[in-house]
A and B are shown apart, each in its own frame.
Chain A
């Protein structure tokens, strides 16, 4: 597909060639007010027809790099650019963003922030109209682009009516309609549910099928993306190019270096690395669920997996839900839900969009008071309890932590929940100090909460939910819009809390995280509870498919095994055997 690729590790052979659609030479970008430039001295090139995947740990400047690729840096974003970005052979400094848009089409992370007009057709026409393309050509382009993403039939609708995946497909159509040969996609699926992610990748696969178009993709969800990628470029923590080459060269042959850089690998690869450490070598190293299945099937025999034993003794329930129905403006959001969560467990609530997940969580936590007598949390009925008592029983963490910050500093933010209870100042200080230390925020105690990084904000919001001593913690999509590294970091925090006795309830879309961390899963569909049970039981059954979801990659890989029947119920990395 691509022209001869540079050998891994030698970025200098990746210098721009005349055929490159887009190349960068020594690009460093320093945001206004920043202290060190990320990315740092990056050389890259994208050639016609190829798909380049850019990887890197959080903070390596991937998104900033994307903004430079169509001239938004330095033209629209206050940041200084060193080095040269060559777009179709011309320096980005010398051409406007509008001129660059003829070569580079952009798709950003948040589908909601890419809609400016009132209908799907107007939206796709917006770009070409700005370029003064004649009317009939605008319509021809719009039709081609919308057909390519499967939205032509919905052209007269308001984009708001599309699902998240639909809106992101629309954003791709908008980029296609610009007529640019290169698409730059910056984390295009980070804000989507699994159904939306599948939709977007089905469209991208179609787009790169013929070699007319090139794609530069920034993505942390490698499980979905890896099979359409030709070349990989990996940035290190400082934003420098650490590795570059074909998928095979980088992800298979230098996987240990990639992992050491803090880049999240596909789950199939992580599993294979664990197996390798336990003495089972899969060759070639699998990158997709299908390759993992094939690799395992090829092995003559496998040791027994470490499947979880039968459930231990039943602990008293921390949360009980009895025939809970919620009706809002004539629509039934929850229909007769019965659920019991043992104390000290982590429960994941899963389901497609609109299944009632958030409604259930908010009813349990009393954010929206449930009908009397339907919910008991730690012996309390949230429908009758006042806010302060409730907050001492169950802490609630909203999807966006900023929404719940009240105070001007991190320490005050934590102290808030104690001060409104009239707890003496020295006791408040003591407990705040403990919480700061526990969540690694001690040095930031005087910082304004809005100035924290994404991961720090999330930890602070968990801390504020727990400071009043709530034994139950409820989180609404805590990993939404975050990369795998931050998601796993947060889940580690939650797992530690669970091990210390906190009951954790969370709504999430990320089924691999559910498989790896949750003790128990409740599956919702159309407002009804399809079932709930221990994670391994739910993943082994058909509840997930019945709810319209797709099992997580590891479960898919293992279920498809032709040999090794005892491995078919493996769903967690922790189930894999360890070195003898």
Chain B
């Protein structure tokens, strides 16, 4: 039973401290969620491409300075996000109803379909909003580990530790179940599947995986629970915390700075030169 666990990102890995420049690691996990939150909400409602573009640039800068990325991760971000941006822009542009952009310059026409610059404009702003949302989430995601997030939820937000630590223990189940599902699929394949091809047969096949997976999941969860009980989990309303995840002045400063910059970008940016298209 060698569990296939190493291939995945290890949610339990301890993030070391990389010094004051890589400042994101020194922030409380909650401040890395709270700081970008207003910007993320605002991005759902803005329509122009410039606002998300500015946020994307800012986030890029913060990640490149404040996070220590492996070469692969850096490459993934520097190439992956622009690539996603291009693909999404084109897809959204093609999806856009040509009627909405009828008063913009026509780029090309295929039969009845007219592709206008306005469609490109709408596609770009939608794609920018999505990728920027993702990038803002990466700010904390790249530089926070699971246990620290749980600890700060317990320590600052007063989430009961019984919930936090149980969730963390349950996280261990994910790679285990993925591995188990792989075995079950192989086992069922060996038995020779009934019902042939097609979506209905496929669905039936998946339902067939559910029973053994659930049976084993429940058994495993029960065993883990017994092991936790045997080690006095939940004995007291609190537990000793060896790792304090403090919420310091720098966290307040980070949040305040982020909110002020967000407000400036959202409120003070002149938008007159960027007409809203297709949104009247």
Contacts and interface: CB of A to CB of B under 8 A. Distances in A.
Contacts, number: 174
A125 interface: yes
Interface stretch (A16-24, A28-36, A94-102): A94-102
Interface in A306-345: none
B176 A112 contact: yes
B100 interface: no
Nearest to A67: B226
A376 interface: no
Contacts of A160: 3, 5-6
A416 B227 contact: no
Nearest to B223: A113
A128 B13 CA distance: 22
B225 A76 contact: yes
B75 interface: no
Nearest to A395: B190
Interface in B125-176: 145-147, 165, 168-169, 172, 176
Given A131-B235, A464-B191, A106 B208 contact: no
A126 interface: yes
B189 to A, nearest CB: 7
B212 interface: yes
Nearest to A161: B6
A114 interface: yes
A222 interface: no
A359 to B, nearest CB: 11
A241 interface: no
Given A160-B6, A404-B187, A450-B211, A110 B223 contact: yes
A406 B240 contact: no
A139 B169 contact: no
B14 A156 contact: yes
Interface stretch (A115-123, A258-266, A292-300, A524-532): A115-123
Contacts of A419: 194
Interface in B231-280: 231-236, 238-242
A391 B192 contact: yes
A134 B242 CA distance: 9
Contact of A191 (B1, B14, B225): B1
Contacts of B109: none
B193 interface: yes
A108 B208 CA distance: 30
Contact of B12 (A96, A126, A158, A399): A158
Given A118-B11, A419-B194, A108 B226 contact: yes
B228 interface: yes
B242 A402 contact: no
Contacts of B1: 112, 164, 191, 399, 480
A113 B223 CA distance: 6
B240 to A, nearest CB: 4
B239 A130 contact: yes
Given A72-B230, A76-B229, A112-B1, A117 B190 contact: no
Contacts of A450: 211-212, 215
A396 B190 contact: yes
B186 interface: yes
Contacts of A112: 1, 3, 176, 220
A575 interface: no
A248 B148 CA distance: 54
B147 A129 contact: no
Contacts of B5: 160
A147 B67 CA distance: 35
Nearest to A358: B2
Contacts of B188: 404, 406
Contacts of B189: 367, 387
A77 B226 contact: yes
A183 to B, nearest CB: 11
Highest count of chain A CB atoms <10 Å: which of B191, B194, B223: B191
Nearest to B209: A403
Given A129-B242, A416-B191, A174 B231 contact: yes
B10 interface: yes
Contacts of A201: none
Nearest to B196: A420
A158 B186 contact: no
Nearest to A130: B232
A368 B186 contact: yes
B224 interface: yes
Contacts of B241: 129
A119 B10 CA distance: 11
A174 B2 CA distance: 22
B216 A400 contact: yes
Give the most central of B186, B192, B194: most A CB within 10 Å. B192
A164 B6 CA distance: 15
Contact of B232 (A76, A131, A135, A368): A131
Interface in A138-183: 138-139, 156, 158, 160-161, 164, 171, 174-175, 178
Nearest to B214: A450
Nearest to B224: A113
Interface in A339-387: 353-354, 362, 365-368, 387
B79 interface: no
B6 A106 contact: no
Contacts of B12: 117-119, 158
Interface in A51-108: 67, 70, 72, 75-77, 96-99, 101, 105-106, 108
B190, B228, B234: most-surrounded residue (chain A CB, <10 A): B190
Nearest to A171: B227
Nearest to B4: A160
A127 interface: yes
A67 B230 CA distance: 10
A402 B216 contact: yes
B184 interface: yes
Contacts of B192: 387-388, 391, 416-417, 420
B172 A76 contact: no
Nearest to B220: A113
Contact of A101 (B194, B232, B242): B232
Contacts of B21: none
A406 B230 CA distance: 36
Interface in A398-425: 398-400, 402-406, 416-417, 419-420
Contacts of A133: 240
Contacts of B234: 98, 130
Given A98-B235, A160-B6, A391 B191 contact: yes
Given A135-B242, A139-B242, A158-B13, A116 B224 contact: yes
B86 interface: no
A246 to B, nearest CB: 29
Contacts of A125: 242
A413 B266 CA distance: 64
Given A387-B193, A404-B187, 14 more contacts: A72-B226, A76-B225, A76-B229, A97-B232, A101-B230, A112-B220, A114-B224, A116-B224, A118-B14, A129-B241, A130-B233, A130-B236, A130-B240, A158-B12
Interface of B: 1-3, 5-6, 10-14, 145-147, 165, 168-169, 172, 176, 180, 183-184, 186-194, 208, 211-212, 215-216, 220, 223-236, 238-242
23 contacts: A98-B235, A98-B236, A101-B232, A105-B230, A113-B220, A113-B223, A113-B227, A116-B224, A117-B169, A118-B12, A119-B12, A130-B240, A132-B238, A135-B240, A138-B240, A158-B10, A160-B6, A164-B1, A391-B191, A404-B191, A417-B192, A420-B193, A450-B215
- Give the 8 A-B residue pairs with the shortest CB-CB distance, closest first: A118-B12, A98-B235, A113-B223, A127-B231, A98-B232, A404-B187, A116-B169, A106-B230
